[in-house]
Structure 1
Amino acid sequence: MNREGCYRTRWRWLMLSVFVLLALGGCLLSVMQGVAAITPADVLQILWQPSARTADQIIWNIRLPRTLTGALVGANLALSGAILQAVMRNPLADPHIIGISAGAGLAGIVVLIVWPAYLFWMTPVAFVGAMAAAAVIYLLAWKDGIVPVRIILAGVAVSAFLGAIISGILIFYSDRVHGALLWMVGGLAASSWKDVTAIA
C-alpha cells in the first residue's frame, strides 16, 4: 500500500473513532439529562449495580430504552440509506426521495386512522407498504433492464403520488390528524423495552 493509501486508511479510522466516541458521549448525555439530573458516576453505578431507587427506575425504565431506541432507529436509517446508495450507485438515493418511506407512511396512516383498534399491526403493515412501494418503483423503472437513474425518477414520482394520497386522507379524517402527524414525525417520548426489542 502506498503512502496515500495508508494516509486515507488512517484518516478513516480516525474519523470512525471520533464518531464512535461522539455517539457514546451523546448516549451518555441522553441518559444523564432530564428533569432529574444524574451524574455520570451515578449513571455508571446504576448500570453496573441496579437497585430499587428512584434514579435507577428513571434510568432503566425511561431514559435507557429511549436512548437505545433512538440509537437503533438512527442506525437502521443510516443502513437503509447506505444500502440504497450502494445498490443504485447514486449518492442521492434515499428512502424518502425514492418513495419507500411514503409507502410505509401511507400503510401506517391507513391502520392508524381507519383501524385504530389494530395499532399493534402498524409496524408489519408499514413494512409491507414499503415493500409494495419498492415493487411499484421497480416495475415502473423496468425497461429492458434496470438503470439507477430510472429508479430514482420513478421513485420521486411514486413519492409525490403517495404523499398526495396521505394528504387527502388527512383532510378527510381531520379529527384524527393529530395522532397521524405525531406518528409520521416520530418521537421517543414513550419508548420502552418493547420498542428496543422490536427494532433490534
Structure 2
Amino acid sequence: MKARDSRKLLLLLLLTLLSALLGAGAGASFIDVPSALGEILSGRAESPDARILLYVRLPRVCASLLAGSALAVAGLLIQAVLSNPLASPNVIGVNAGAGFFAFLFMAVLPGSTGACALGAFLGALAATLIVYAVAAAAGAGKLTIILAGVAVSSIFTAGLNAVKTFSPETLYNGSTFLIGGFSGVSMADITPAWVCILLALLGCMLLPRQLDVLCLGEETARSLGQPVGVIRFAAIILSCVLAGCAVSFSGLIGFVGLIVPHITRRLFGQSHRWLLPGACLLGACLVTFSDLLSRLLFSPYEIPVGILLSLTGGPFFLFLILRRRRR
C-alpha cells in the first residue's frame, strides 16, 4: 500500500511539473522555454521569449502553483475539522471576509499598490478569528462553527455590496478579484504570500496523525488523549493562512478546496499522511493546468481561470449532493 501511494505521489509530482512547463511555454505565443531560461540564468534576458518568460509566464505559473496547493490543503483541513465533505474555505467566511476587506482597502486607499492583496489577507484572517471566537463562546462544536461561518459570511457580503454601492469605482478595479485569475500577476504580488504559504504547508505536514484521530469523532479523539479544541483551532488557523494568502493574489477562486480533497481521498484513502501531500500536488496541478486552458481555449483571448473552475466545480458539487442523497 505504501509503495503504491508513493508511486501515486510521484505521478502527481510529474504531472505538476509538466503542467508548470506547459504553462511557462504555451499561451497567446509559444516560447522556447529552455533557451529563454538559459538567457535568464546567464543574466541577459534580452530576447522577447526571455522577457515574456521572466515577467509574464514565470510569475503566473508560480502564482497558480501556490494558489492551487494552498486552497486544496485549506479545503482538506476544513473538511477534516468539520467532518463535512461539502465544506470549503468559503463555508467559514474566508472568501467573504477577503472580498469585503479587499474592496474596503481599495475604496480607502485608491491607487495604492498592494491594497487589494493586503486587504484580502487581513479580511480572511479577521473572518476566521471572528468565527472561531463566536464558536468558542458558544461551545466550539462542528455545527457551531458552520453556523457562525454562515452568519459572518452574510455580514461581510453585505459590507462588500455596501462598499460597491458607495464607491462604484472599486467594482471596476476589483472585478478581476471577484472572478479570480492570474492575469497581470507579478512576482511582487506573490512575494509576501509565498513565504506564509510554504510555512503553513510545512505546519500542516506535522498534523496527519492528529487529523486522522479527529476524523474518528470527538469522543474517540478525547479518549485517546488528543486536545480536540487545540487541534481544531490550529487546523482552522492554518487553513485561514493558506486560503487568505492565496486569495490575496489570485482573487476569489472557488471550488478548488472542494474538488481536490474528494479526488485525493479516492486516490489515497483516509490517511492524512498521504492526503496532505497528495492534495498539495493535485491542487497545484489542477489550477496550473486550468490556467493554461483559460489561455488556450479562446486564444488570443483568455477567460479568467475562476470562471473555468466554477464551470467545472458547479456540476461536481451537484454530483456530490445527489450522491450523498442516494446514500
Would you call these one fold, judging by a TM-score over 0.5?
yes
Cα separation, 1, equivalents of 2:138 and 2:100: 30
Secondary structure, counterpart of 1:139 in structure 2: helix
2:5 is matched by which residue type in structure 1?
R
**Residues 46-125 of structure 1: pairs in structure 2 closer than 5 A:** 46=39, 49=42, 51=44, 52-125=46-119
Which residue matches 1:20?
A: 13
Shift of residue 116 of structure 1?
A: 0.9
Secondary structure, counterpart of 2:18 in structure 1: helix
Of all paired residues, the percent bearing the same amino acid is: 31
Q: Deviations over 1:146-200 (max 9, x none)?
A: 1112101221222123212212322333343121222222332212221232221
Shift of residue 46 of structure 1?
A: 4.7
**Residues 138-177 of structure 1: pairs in structure 2 closer than 5 A:** 138-142=132-136, 145-177=139-171
Which residue matches 1:194?
A: 188
Q: Deviations over 1:17-70 (max 9, x none)?
A: 222222111111111112331245545645665642221121122211111111
Instruction: Confirm or deny: 8 A CA contact 2:32 2:49 kept in the other structure.
Output: no
Instruction: Confirm or deny: 8 A CA contact 1:113 1:180 kept in the other structure.
Output: no
Which residue matches 2:29?
A: 36
Q: Deviations over 1:111-164 (max 9, x none)?
A: 112321434343333322222212221233235631112101221222123212
Instruction: Confirm or deny: 8 A CA contact 1:32 1:43 kept in the other structure.
Output: no
Secondary structure, counterpart of 1:189 in structure 2: coil
Moved more, 102-111 or 47-56: 47-56
Moved more, 45-54 or 150-159: 45-54
Shift of residue 108 of structure 1?
A: 0.8
Larger radius of gyration: 1
Shift of residue 107 of structure 1?
A: 0.7
2:29 is matched by which residue type in structure 1?
A
Secondary structure, counterpart of 2:90 in structure 1: coil
Shift in CA distance, 41/132, structure 1 to aligned 2, threshold 3 Å = closer
Structure 1 position 128 matched with structure 2 position 122: yes
Moved more, 166-175 or 101-110: 166-175
Between the two proteins, the alignment pairs up a number of residues equal to: 193
Shift in CA distance, 97/44, structure 1 to aligned 2, threshold 3 Å = same
Structure 2 unaligned blocks of 5 or more: 195-327
User: Aligned-pair RMSD on alpha carbons?
Assistant: 2.4
Shift in CA distance, 143/47, structure 1 to aligned 2, threshold 3 Å = same
Shift of residue 87 of structure 1?
A: 3.3
Cα separation, 1, equivalents of 2:134 and 2:162: 23
Where in structure 1 do 4 or more consecutive aligned residues deviate above 4 Å?
A: 43-50
